[in-house]
Structure 1
């Protein structure tokens, strides 16, 4: 199944359908959203949707794949960049929050609705999520090896704790809040790093 381009930038009816689906999946959940809901929100007959998309699941796969791709693109270069492991991990945490802040609704779908993909598409999302997790594992491993981070930590538990906290930010982050995404990211980095630094 082909992965759709960036849902935010895609134009025409398909772009409208993608954005409406993103909103409804975030608000009502994937299983709570019908093709009729999407069609009504876009102003099309339900049958007309299929001229632009393959299925409801294809929409979810496109949103999830595009969304994870954004996190990989923002965080991957930082993981492999310059600086100590702790400095890079801090930048990665901030970058993650900044991607969330760019579109919290999309991030909600990416983090909480991917499980509803069918068995044919679920491995695509799982593989992309593992790629992302491995960026954090590698940097923490480097921190442990250099002595900058504690050697008595369980790498996977610590990384999943960090990602678990980050992945819930779309539930409470407000683009109109007192603090910007970078500031929120710095606050989170201060808290999350404290538990693993030597």
Structure 2
């Protein structure tokens, strides 16, 4: 087992603040106080607050992908897309502030459509694109689909619904909202079928 370093403690404290209070609740002073070091000591590990926040987002993206790739998944591409949708909704409902920082809020390191996606720089959208590609290979999905636009459509539906729900614009309990997301995601899957 690896020793917990000061950098690990800084990242853990900042992650806690982010998940509890959002990005605005993370300051170098608050992180330092939580770790028990001076605010200036953080700069030995992270040159600025944005670098620290981006490290948290990158670690969360890596964890989402690791979780997805390490679990037993169905072979059929449409089933994979359903599971990704459910996993993503569950993550966003369980950690709304971390989700918002990763997928909604402006940040310098955020990937943008179309160039970053086409260059496969988006760890999570790559999974959607791979499932669509698999669906075409399995003759489940139409071969004329634009891969990245279709992946973006799938993600945009989900992110839009989550923003509306987190903004209290969809007035239903989380369980009912989750079911709504799954039903609407199913409509997109049905639209891209052969």
TM-score, structure 1 normalization: 0.66
1:20 is the counterpart of 2:17: yes
Q: Counterparts of 1:84-163 in structure 2 under 5 Å? A: 84-113=76-105, 115-117=107-109, 129-163=121-155
User: Unaligned regions of 5+ residues in structure 1, if any?
Assistant: 119-125
Deviation string 1:21-75 (CA, Å, 9 cap, x unpaired) is 45342xx5xxxx884xx6369878xx93233463202321222112212321333
User: Secondary structure at the residue paired with 2:107?
Assistant: helix
The runs of at least 4 aligned residues of structure 1 exceeding 6 Å deviation read: 40-44
- Asked if the contact 1:74–1:99 (Cα under 8 Å) also holds between the matched residues in 2, the reply is no
Which runs of no fewer than 5 residues in structure 2 stay unpaired?
111-117
Question: Does the 8 Å CA contact 1:85/1:143 hold for their aligned counterparts?
Answer: yes
* Equivalent pair of 2:80/2:131 in contact (CA under 8 Å): yes
Instruction: Return the match for 1:65 from 46, 51, 58.
Output: 58
What are the superposed Cα offsets for residues 140-196 of structure 1, whole Å, 9 maximum, x if unpaired?
112112221112221111011112222344423359942427534422322321221
Task: Work out whether 1:193 is the aligned partner of 2:189.
Answer: yes
* CA RMSD, Structure 1 to Structure 2 (Å): 3.8
Are the equivalent residues in 2 in contact too, given 1:74–1:95 (CA < 8 A)?
Answer: no
Aligned residues: 172
Q: TM-score, normalised by structure 2?
A: 0.68
